[in-house]
Chain A
Amino acid sequence: MSDATTTETIATKSGTVTSRSSERELRTTRVFEAPARLVFQAWSTTELLMRWWAPKSFGITFISCEADVRTGGHYRFVFGHPASDQPMAFFGKYLEVIPPTKIVWTNEESEEGSVTTMTLTEEGGRTTLVVSDVYPSKAALDEAIASGSTGAFPEQFEALDAILAELAGR
């Protein structure tokens, strides 16, 4: 598939770019003004993860965060939001962890969830981070988009949906 057929949304301020780079992949890119080992540290240390994974601007807070960031290790993130009485759980397994360049994990809260690959490439003290979400099929990604959710726990994700819609001012 050529670049011209991707759907892309771009931030002008923070520089985070997301595109549907293929029928079953979403690719997000961002540059950090830091060496890869520091970016990796922030991704692989539970206490540090908790400081940024649930952004305050989204009103989501961590209820609990377990992350054994090693190949074969598991993670379980549970979030809360004032607008929802149900906590939202996200969990899966780290398929591959190579410090300080790569983390691959499953998203098992949904039946046809994506496998996410995070890669870091350092050049001249700056690090380019790429997050690639690959769904098992085109239908699975289409379905995630069509249902406006990213998982199979409808109540939990619909709550997240409502939050996101609220933020988008809809």
Chain B
Amino acid sequence: MVQPDRLALFVHVDTLNHMVQYSQSGYDACFAALSDATRRGVLEQLACSDASVTELAERFEMTLTAMKKHVDVLVRAGLVTTEKVGRVRTCRLGAGRLEDELAWIERYRQLWAARFDALDAVIEDLKQKESADERRNDD
């Protein structure tokens, strides 16, 4: 069993490796994202306060679809993160791709972990049923 403090170290080392890995492709994506005046405007806006995609579309006088595309580019470059609550997607200046990726993988893992915990209970039932059947056969 790996100790928790070692796990923390593991994650930290992984984090550093990933930062190096992302620095090049991230730079390109970032540069492309900043090459557009609207997207620079969106970043300036978000630097002042968080805003929904709808609010940004209104402010920059464009369709929701067009603004979504701009936001997607900014998200991919790690410059903006979005969070959906109900029907509203709120945009804020991003913490970066790595943090997002780790958070996403952790949520993905949590889903499987929860499934497997439930699967344990199902398997336990199957085991008990099987050993009960064996006892019956032995009699």
Contacts and interface: CB of A to CB of B under 8 A. Distances in A.
Contacts of B119: 32, 39, 42, 52
A145 B104 CA distance: 6
B109 A9 contact: yes
Interface in B41-94: 72, 75-76, 82-86, 89
B130 interface: yes
B135 interface: no
Given A32-B120, A146-B100, A12 B83 contact: no
Interface residues of A, number: 50
- DSSP majority for the A interface? mixed
Interface of A: 4-12, 14, 16-20, 26, 28, 30, 32-34, 38-39, 41-42, 48, 51-53, 55-58, 129, 131, 142-143, 145-148, 150, 158, 161-162, 164-165, 167-168, 170
Given A32-B119, A34-B123, A16 B82 contact: no
A158 B84 contact: yes
Which 9 A/B pairs are nearest by Cβ-Cβ distance?
Answer: A55-B114, A52-B118, A18-B109, A16-B113, A52-B119, A9-B106, A145-B104, A34-B123, A38-B126
A143 to B, nearest CB: 8
Please report whether the interface of chain B is mostly helix, strand, loop or mixed according to DSSP.
helix
Contact of B111 (A7, A30, A58): A58
Given A51-B118, A146-B76, A161-B84, 12 more contacts: A5-B14, A9-B105, A10-B7, A12-B7, A16-B113, A17-B109, A18-B109, A42-B119, A55-B114, A162-B86, A164-B110, A168-B107
30 contacts: A6-B14, A7-B14, A9-B105, A9-B106, A11-B113, A12-B4, A14-B113, A16-B116, A18-B106, A18-B112, A34-B127, A42-B119, A51-B122, A52-B119, A55-B111, A55-B118, A56-B118, A129-B116, A142-B76, A145-B101, A145-B104, A145-B105, A146-B97, A146-B100, A148-B84, A148-B100, A150-B108, A158-B89, A162-B85, A162-B86
